[in-house]
Structure 1
Amino acid sequence: MADTVIQVENISKLYRLGAIGTGSFRQDLQHWWNLYILRKQDPFFQPGGSKSFAAERDQIWALQQINFDVKQGESIGIIGSNGSGKSTLLKIISRIVKPTTGTVKGKGKISSLLEVGTGFNQELTGRENIFISGYILGMSKAEVRSKFDEIVAFSGIEEFIDTPVKRYSSGMYVRLAFAVAAHLEPDILIVDEVLAVGDADFQKKCLGKMKEVTHADGRTILFVSHNMQAINTLCDKAIWLNKGIMKEIGPSSAVVNKYIASMQKFKLEQKWDTPSDAPGNDWVRFKQVQLIPHMQESDNILDIRTPLTIKFKFWNLHPGINLNVGLVLYSYSGDCIFDLLSPTASCHKGIVEGECTIPGNFLNDGSYYITLTVAKDASIPLFNLEECLSFDVEDYREDIHYFEKWWGAVRPKFPFRLQQKEMALE
């Protein structure tokens, strides 16, 4: 059984808004005496504590009662919306920030990449900063020198290695910072949103290196990212934080699915019982619109592989007219993805229904809405039902280690053949 290298027990972190300390010298002194001399729990920074300290509206619990263990060689992804406490948790584990309550027990050397180039001296060159970072991590000059060429080659900034880092671009900065953190052989590597800065090639190298150090070298990684595909690819387990509370911990794919499902904002169906209540006019009035994702399980996420069927019903209020329905799909940025027109149908007075299926592996990931347009003789618009359905499509990339946004409004999976015909001659 793998050893536990990080043990997080009842970690909470309270911040007070708009002030430093408790508000009085006597209480500040009491706070210091209890915390550092008597080693007691802080009476001022407890839920339901001293009312003289601050009203609840002046306090923010960035983390509340967080508990988990990390085994040696595990890669743990930490996900959640902005402000959920991810970076605060990493800073506490890295011993940059002290928790209000609870303890963190760790075993081994920790290397943290929480902000780009943290710890770099702006006046020193890239070469000098590599050696300084190594010394901070407890390595000897010989150990750093043995890894130096590999670090520089990974960063891709060989020609600028003797230039002061204050002249580096943000991309060069993050390349060198990650290269140093990943190659100086820490037992635990803590990474916060490093993939948000680099280009596609750098992201691929970063993920490849992190997979290498976990699976080949048996080192441990804590990884914060908003890129769910990267979390699924790299991490064995995931922790979902929401407003400082740990909502879920478990296998990365299961936790990511639950997180994405909670973020998706669907309007998948609308119904109207009578024509008098329904949207429309003297020509037509809609009875029902519905979007049906074809998923094996209802709690699965809607991603680019999912076929979507749009069904609709409307009351035709005029006998003997030729009707068409146009289905227009828009992205929420306002771009028209496609405008599809149904065949013409000769309709009598009564209920008319129709359906259309968007195949899987056609749409790119993103947010979309649908407008339905009823027309007479394929040329005379009768009524538009604007934004009647809306949905989100999530990303999915099996065995593809490219993590930037995929180009294009659509992302079709057409037949595409590639094979080697001849072997190279000796």
Structure 2
Amino acid sequence: MSYSVRVEGLGKRYMIKGNRRHRLLRDEIMSFVKEFPRKAETRQEFWALRDLGFEIAEGDKVGIIGKNGAGKSTLLKLLSRVAEPTTGEIRLRGRVSSLLEVGTGFHPELTGRENIFLNGVILGMSRIEVRRKFDEIVSFAGVERFLETQVKHYSSGMYMRLAFSVAAHLDPEILIVDEVLAVGDAEFQKKCLGKMQDISTGGRTVIFVSHSMQTVTSLCNQCILLDSGQIRKQGRPSEVIIEYLGGDSESVGRVDFERQGRTVADEHVQLLYGEVLDEDDQPILEADIRKPIRVKMGFRVKSRSGIRFMPNFHFVVPGGTYAFVSTPDVLTELTPGDYEASCYIPGDFLNEGSYFVGLAVSSYAPGLTIHFFEPSAMTFNVRDSMDGSVGRHGYANVMPGVVRPRLQWKVEEASN
């Protein structure tokens, strides 16, 4: 398959002013008098990106992830030709449409209608081509009533909806989107993701920055992790997200607190370790969506207290939303010793995406007591191999929601 984007030795350098300690106005005046003419301020080099190299095939959907300041937005600006690279080169095949921030390319004094045609001209399209797409753009954005209004009077949501609609509908071979979808409501975000899916299905390329790991998992077939301006990992979204969320640390899939030299405990009970296991009892980083998994926690009861301890697992998705909390049905008094608590999760239950597991032991005698709680102790991914054996009509990859259970259904002719 031929490439859509090829990057070789790419770097972007900025010159920033040297740090100067805060000084009072009188200090500045005295400095000016003593040092006139003043020396030039010192400037330092800052490389936002350095020596990047990668290739994106036609039709790929690529997510760019990383912490704030990793260089994600800088990379998109270079790919969009908004900024020039300091080193290296970028080769693009096809027309590029980009949405880097709300209303990029819009003129605030022009109406919505005028800006649609303006953006079309910027992309190199004729008025006839824009007119052919015009009704579809307006309908997708939902701004029919405000077409003759200057966009400076639009709300940020309206601005973003029209900007995305224009960028996505004017037939780009390469669509580049920064994480502006956060401005819209959930319904419009879903429409945007569906549109980007349609674009890539048609053989065109989508590149976008996101802090939502579930969005990256649902949309992308490739992922690039940036760290301090360099590529830390590139590959399948599930593999790259695991690297991003947990890196190579022990906290991914398994954590052993004793080996770490950490004591997570109160005077009654102590957390020893946690594991995510497959059906063969092997620690895993990634689970097949169809296969069951087991989450296990080891803990030590330190003394006889008469307390009926309640182990519990907290499952959280990126962004902090709780998927669910699970506890055993029956609690019994535990004598001093080491124990293991396991929670079995069936296949076809969790949705595709990344999950954090919090480990806790609590009790209710009298009132709620949390003996320990280690949030996000472990991380694992659930992945749909999309090999055709799991049918989910109307959806490709992730479905809306945190869980994706396979429930019993019956469809039959109604009796008269």
Q: TM-score range by the shorter chain?
A: 0.7 to 0.9
TM-score using structure 1 length: 0.72
Deviates further, 336-345 or 162-171: 336-345
1:372 aligns with 2:361: yes
Determine if the alignment matches structure 1 residue 344 to structure 2 residue 332.
yes
CA distance in structure 2 between the partners assigned to 1:415 and 1:77 by the alignment: 32
Equivalent in 203, 206, 230 of residue 189 of structure 2 = 203
Structure 2 counterpart of 1:419, from 393, 411, 414? 411
Q: Are the structure 2 counterparts of residues 73 and 343 from structure 1 closer, same or farther at C-alpha, using a change threshold of 3 Å? A: closer
1:165/1:418 CA distance change after superposition, 3 Å: farther
Q: Is contact 1:214–1:220 with CA below 8 Å preserved after alignment? A: yes
Is the contact between residue 8 and residue 53 of structure 2 (CA under 8 Å) also seen in structure 1? Answer: yes
Kindly provide the amino acid, as one letter, of the partner of residue 326 in structure 1: M
Which piece of structure 1 moves more, 158-167 or 125-134? Answer: 158-167
The CA deviation string for residues 184-243 of structure 1, in whole angstroms up to 9 with x for no partner, is 112221111133222222122222222222222x22222221222332333232211111
Deviations 1:154-192 (A, max 9, x none): 112212222221222222111111111111112221111
Q: CA deviation at 1:92?
A: 0.9
**Alpha-carbon spacing, 1:188–1:420, altered in 2? closer, same or farther (3 Å):** farther
* Aligned partner letter, 1:100: T
TM-score, normalised to structure 2, is 0.74
Give the Å deviation of 1:268. Answer: 3.4
Report the counterpart of residue 169 of structure 2 in structure 1. 183
Q: CA RMSD in A?
A: 4.0
Could you tell me which residue of structure 2 aligns to residue 269 of structure 1?
256
| CA distance in structure 1 between the aligned counterparts of 2:231 and 2:264, rounded to whole angstroms | 43
Distance 2:379 2:309 in 1: 24
* Residue 149 (structure 1) aligned to one of 106, 120, 135: 135
Aligned length: 369
Aligned to 1:326: 310
The AA in structure 1 aligned to 2:15 is: R
Distance 1:419 1:167 in 2: 50
Deviations 1:289-321 (A, max 9, x none): 3322123664524899753222322243x5xx7
Q: Are 2:272 and 1:289 equivalent residues in the alignment?
A: yes
Residues 1:248 and 2:233 are matched in the alignment: yes
* Residue 16 of structure 1: aligned partner: 15
CA-to-partner distance for each residue in 1:62-83, whole Å, 9 max, x for gaps? 1110011223333322222221
Secondary structure of 2:81's match? coil
Alpha-carbon separation, structure 2, partners of 1:77 and 1:191: 10
Letter matched to residue 173 of structure 1? Y
Q: Flag structure 2 segments of 5+ consecutive residues without an equivalent.
A: 19-39, 385-391
Report if the CA contact (8 A) 2:246-2:379 is conserved: no
The question of 1:307 aligning with 2:294 is answered yes
CA distance in 2, matches of 1:401, 1:196: 22
Contact 1:236 1:252 in 2 (8 A): yes
Change (3 A) 1:418 1:100: farther
The answer (yes or no) to whether the contact 2:17–2:42 under 8 Å persists in 1 is no
- Map Cα deviations across residues 7-50 of structure 1 (whole Å, 9 max, x no partner): 2110111222226xxxxxxxxxxxxxxxxxxxxxxxxxxxxxxx
Structure 2 vs 1, CA of residues 107 and 388 (structure 1 numbering), >3 Å: closer, same or farther? closer
Q: Which amino acid aligns with 1:249?
A: Q
Q: Which moved more, 1:357-366 or 1:77-86?
A: 357-366
Aligned pair in 2 of structure 1 residues 354, 98: CA closer, same or farther (>3 Å)?
closer
Partners of 1:204 and 1:403 within 8 A in 2: no
CA shift digits 1:241-300 (9 cap, x unpaired): 11111112223333333333329957833349xxxx99655xx564x5332212366452
* Bigger Rg over Cα: 1
